[in-house]
């Protein structure tokens, strides 16, 4: 393999990371967020770029600042909203916002961006009314603060006093990598002032919301008169507090309940004609009632709702409306892909718009003929494309800019058979020189979730970096993987240690029968739920030469009380206080005495989904039982490893650990450790 054919971690980190595609109201401009590694490799920096929807001109950069910009959304006049923590040029050193992101506006004709809204706690989400241009944004403030100035004064008083303590009276108190509160999340509506003036007196859509707007999605009708939002129900039983769906009159704050049936409502999208709202509904679930996810629409006039695309046995994602409000476009995981679909509102007829690839950020054109999107695959990073919005299984038209790099690995779709006869699909990647005469060692990468799938490009667990290092890579989709119908969810629900484990092993058994793979040199690796499965594998088989477990669950009963949303796990495993049997039956820590395989433990201090205590307990248990192990600790990372130089260390350490135990090489500690 020549140097030009290499795809190591440096090649991976040099690629631009595209996200957040947005289309202007007239369909003439596409904007996308592009993240790249900063010059020193200490962080990713995001900027907004403009694309030509016709694909005739090269992309051009619109924004530039050290903090970066993201969250692009167009206004009716073609001006562009975005969020950024860039400093307010008029605020000086005493800006109370600090590094919190503010809302900015870039004129349609270009020029300098102007500050639109800068609440002290920052802006975390934005929706713009399609016709009126009214903007609704989410921002936190201390309870009882009648203005941003008062909120800033209260926060400054805490800071000046050196007080960092927070008093909580509700649950949850944190999410992924941040603590919720002490500020309450509010939805604020504002009619945009002329010129480059800032918003002065936004309307509080739901005054005194408490914690009911934490984590919810929202949208605004085209006239800006109604905000449709999720709202967490209050109640003493934490297990019975779903996200209801409500419509709120902006002028009066009057709320109309659209759905309060125990389901969780999110991914909210109001139709262009203002009549409908589309959303995703997660069903109430329990240990004996697996979760299901369906697409719903509600008539904003009558309040009546119904499921659409009911015939499609897949989980829908991210609905958007056709420009004439006659159809809803959405995506769904499907057999190792994420396909775009269109469902007609009157007939419920579903059309798959493309068969290959993983699509996100669907943007229908105003004439209804084209849908723009970001497309990726297991072998290709995200890039912008255009699709025929009405044809079935159309071929995408790539837009100019960010051509994918050549990747030498051979990619195949393979299928194994589990013990109960169920099919277990996987992606298999082989190094270009793997053959029967020179079989490659195998790295089995187990996805997180567990309600997820190997269906696109991956920045953390990029299989091409492993194939570049000479490893064949297996990406199995066991039970609980999305994209294989509700039966695949039902089959693995609460059955992590038997059904899901059995599926992974069946996929491995089939893969090592290939002559290009050396069945005597294998490793299992996974993060989050994949890390759980790596831990479970370690206690139940000695067939692997090495195991890497990242951000992993170790003790399920302890995890329930320390994770950010512990109550949610009761939906699958039940009440740990009165019926702990399922937790104990599937908890890896109870099998530590059986572990013989060398293990690499990886964890970030700021991970609140799987707290660092899981890794610390795992590490203690491994060392106490004499297991050959190493612990890679990131004090400044969360559930993921995001900083480029930390990512370099991650890949270097993981590959060195595999080389030591799978290939018998001498341990080579990465230089920066």
Helix orientation angle between 501-511 and 529-538, rounded to the nearest 10 degrees: 80
Q: Are residues 134 and 212 in the same domain?
A: yes
pLDDT tens digits, 457-513: 999 999 999 999 999 999 999 999 999 999 999 999 999 999 999 999 999 999 999
Residue 617 lies in a domain: yes
Separation of alpha carbons 341 and 328, rounded Å? 8
Q: Are the CB atoms for 272 and 324 separated by under 8 Å?
A: yes
Whether residue 552 has pLDDT greater than 80: yes
Task: Please state the rounded mean pLDDT for residues 218-222.
Answer: 98
Q: Are residues 532 and 390 in the same domain?
A: no
**DSSP designation for 491:** H
Number of separate domains in the chain: 2
Residue 59 lies in a domain: no
Q: Are residues 353 and 465 in the same domain?
A: no
Instruction: Quote the pLDDT of residue 651.
Output: 97
Residue finishing a domain among 365, 398, 431: 398
Task: Please state the rounded mean pLDDT for residues 12-28.
Answer: 96
Whether residue 1 has pLDDT greater than 80: no
Task: Please state the rounded mean pLDDT for residues 446-459.
Answer: 96
Q: Are residues 443 and 297 in the same domain?
A: no
Q: Are residues 104 and 148 in the same domain?
A: yes
Residue 22 lies in a domain: no
Whether residue 364 has pLDDT greater than 90: yes
Residue 472 lies in a domain: yes
SS3 content of the chain, % helix, strand, coil (to 5): 20, 35, 50
Q: Which percentage of the chain shows pLDDT scores above 90? A: 90
Instruction: Quote the pLDDT of residue 448.
Output: 96
pLDDT band at residue 3 using 50, 70 and 90 as cut-offs: low
Residue 175 lies in a domain: yes
Residue finishing a domain among 398, 430, 463: 398
Whether residue 94 has pLDDT greater than 90: no
Q: Are residues 444 and 583 in the same domain?
A: yes
Q: Are residues 357 and 477 in the same domain?
A: no
Tokens of 293: 């996810």
pLDDT band at residue 196 using 50, 70 and 90 as cut-offs: confident
Nearest Cα neighbor of 557 from 594, 583, 538 is 583
Instruction: Quote the pLDDT of residue 110.
Output: 79
pLDDT tens digits, 114-138: 999 999 999 999 999 999 989 999 9
Instruction: Quote the pLDDT of residue 109.
Output: 81
Residue 669 lies in a domain: no
Instruction: Quote the pLDDT of residue 555.
Output: 97
What is the domain-level CATH number for residue 517?
3.40.50.1820
For the chain, the straight-line distance linking the first and the last C-alpha, in angstroms and rounded, comes to: 29
Residue 153 lies in a domain: yes
Whether residue 92 has pLDDT greater than 70: no
Instruction: Quote the pLDDT of residue 13.
Output: 95
Instruction: Quote the pLDDT of residue 95.
Output: 72
Instruction: Quote the pLDDT of residue 192.
Output: 85
Give CA torsion, residues 272, 274, 278, 283, to 10 deg.
170
Residue finishing a domain among 398, 431, 458: 398
441-460 burial, b at 16+ Cβ within 10 Å, e below that, comes to bbbbbbbbebbbbbbbbbbb
Q: Are residues 171 and 215 in the same domain?
A: yes
What is the domain-level CATH number for residue 252?
2.120.10.30
Q: Are residues 433 and 390 in the same domain?
A: no
Task: Please state the rounded mean pLDDT for residues 40-44.
Answer: 89
Against a cut of 0.75, is the pTM above it? yes
Tokens of 425: 């699909």
Residue 260 lies in a domain: yes
Average model confidence (pLDDT) for the chain?
A: 95
32-69 burial, b at 16+ Cβ within 10 Å, e below that, comes to bbbbbbeeeeebbbbbbbbbbbeeeeebeebbeeeebb
pLDDT tens digits, 382-435: 999 999 999 999 999 999 988 889 999 999 999 999 999 999 999 999 999 999
Task: Please state the rounded mean pLDDT for residues 42-63.
Answer: 94
Range of the domain at 273: 83-398
Separation in Å, CA 47 to CA 21, 65, 92? 12, 8, 24
Q: Are residues 394 and 434 in the same domain?
A: no
Nearest Cα neighbor of 462 from 15, 72, 4 is 15
Q: Are residues 334 and 443 in the same domain?
A: no
- 428: enclosing H helix or E strand: strand 423-430
Judged by DSSP in three states, 209 sits in coil
Mapped to the 3 state alphabet, what secondary structure does 36-80 carry? Answer: EECCCCCCEEEEEEEECCCCCCCCEECCCCCCCEEEEEECCCCCE
Whether residue 93 has pLDDT greater than 70: no
Q: Are the CB atoms for 314 and 332 separated by under 8 Å?
A: yes
Q: Are residues 379 and 414 in the same domain?
A: no
């Amino acid at each position: 393999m020549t140097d030009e054919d290499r795809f190591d971690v440096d090649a991976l980190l040099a690629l631009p990371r595209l996200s957040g595609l947005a289309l202007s109201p007239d369909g003439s401009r596409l904007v996308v967020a592009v993240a790249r590694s900063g010059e020193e490799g200490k962080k990713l920096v995001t900027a907004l770029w403009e694309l030509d929807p016709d694909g005739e001109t090269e992309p051009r950069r619109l924004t530039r600042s050290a903090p970066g910009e993201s969250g692009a959304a167009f206004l009716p006049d073609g001006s562009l909203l975005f969020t950024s923590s860039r400093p307010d040029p008029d605020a000086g050193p005493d800006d109370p916002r600090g590094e919190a992101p503010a809302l900015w506006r870039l004129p349609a004709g270009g020029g300098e961006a102007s500050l639109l809204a800068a609440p002290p706690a920052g802006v975390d989400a934005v929706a713009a009314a399609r016709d009126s241009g009214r903007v609704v944004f989410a921002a936190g403030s201390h309870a009882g603060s009648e203005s941003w100035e008062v909120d800033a004064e209260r926060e400054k008083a805490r800071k000046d006093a050196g007080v960092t303590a927070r008093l909580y009276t509700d649950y949850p108190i944190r999410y992924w990598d941040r603590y919720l509160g002490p500020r309450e999340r509010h939805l604020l509506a504002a009619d945009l002032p002329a010129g480059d003036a800032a918003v002065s007196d936004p309307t509080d859509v739901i005054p005194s919301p408490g914690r009911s707007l934490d984590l919810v999605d929202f949208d605004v009708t085209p006239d800006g008169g109604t905000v449709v939002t999720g709202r967490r129900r209050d109640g003493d039983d934490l297990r019975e507090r779903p996200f209801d769906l409500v419509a709120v009159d902006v002028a009066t704050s009057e709320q109309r309940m659209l759905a309060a049936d125990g389901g969780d409502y999110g991914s909210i999208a109001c139709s262009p004609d203002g009549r409908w709202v589309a959303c995703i509904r997660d069903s109430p679930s329990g240990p004996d009632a697996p979760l299901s996810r369906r697409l719903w629409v509600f008539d904003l006039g009558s309040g009546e709702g119904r499921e659409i695309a009911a015939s499609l046995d897949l989980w829908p994602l991210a609905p958007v409306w056709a420009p004439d409000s006659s159809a809803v476009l959405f995506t769904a995981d499907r057999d190792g892909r994420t396909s775009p679909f269109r469902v007609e509102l009157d007939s419920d007829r579903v059309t798959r718009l493309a068969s290959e690839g993983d699509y996100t950020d669907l943007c229908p054109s105003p004439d209804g003929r084209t849908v723009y999107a970001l497309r990726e695959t297991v072998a290709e990073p995200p890039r912008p494309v255009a699709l025929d919005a009405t044809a079935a299984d159309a071929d995408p038209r790539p837009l100019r800019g960010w051509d994918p790099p050549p990747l030498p690995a051979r990619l195949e779709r393979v299928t194994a058979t589990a013990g109960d006869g169920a099919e277990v699909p996987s992606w298999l990647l082989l190094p270009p020189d793997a053959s029967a005469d020179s079989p490659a060692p195998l790295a089995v990468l187990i996805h997180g979730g567990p309600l997820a799938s190997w269906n696109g490009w991956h920045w953390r667990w990029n299989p091409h970096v492993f194939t570049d290092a000479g490893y064949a890579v297996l990406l199995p989709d066991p039970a609980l993987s999305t994209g294989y119908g509700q039966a695949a969810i039902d089959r693995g629900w609460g059955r992590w240690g038997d059904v899901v484990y059995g599926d992974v092993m069946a996929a491995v058994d089939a893969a090592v029968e290939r002559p290009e793979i050396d069945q005597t040199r294998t490793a299992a690796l996974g993060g989050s739920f994949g890390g759980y499965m790596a831990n479970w594998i370690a206690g139940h088989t000695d067939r692997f030469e090495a195991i890497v477990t990242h951000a992993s669950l170790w003790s399920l009963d302890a995890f329930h009380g320390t994770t950010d949303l512990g109550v949610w796990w009761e939906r699958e495993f039940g009440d740990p206080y009165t019926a702990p049997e399922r937790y104990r039956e599937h908890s890896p820590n109870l099998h530590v005495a059986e572990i013989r395989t060398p293990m690499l433990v990886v964890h970030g201090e700021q991970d609140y989904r799987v707290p660092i205590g899981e890794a610390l307990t795992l590490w203690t248990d491994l060392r106490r039982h004499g297991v050959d192990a190493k612990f890679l600790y990131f004090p400044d990372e969360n559930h993921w490893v995001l900083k480029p130089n930390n990512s370099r260390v991650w890949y270097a350490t993981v590959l060195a650990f595999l080389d030591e135990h799978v290939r018998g090489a001498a341990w080579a500690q990465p230089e920066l450790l």
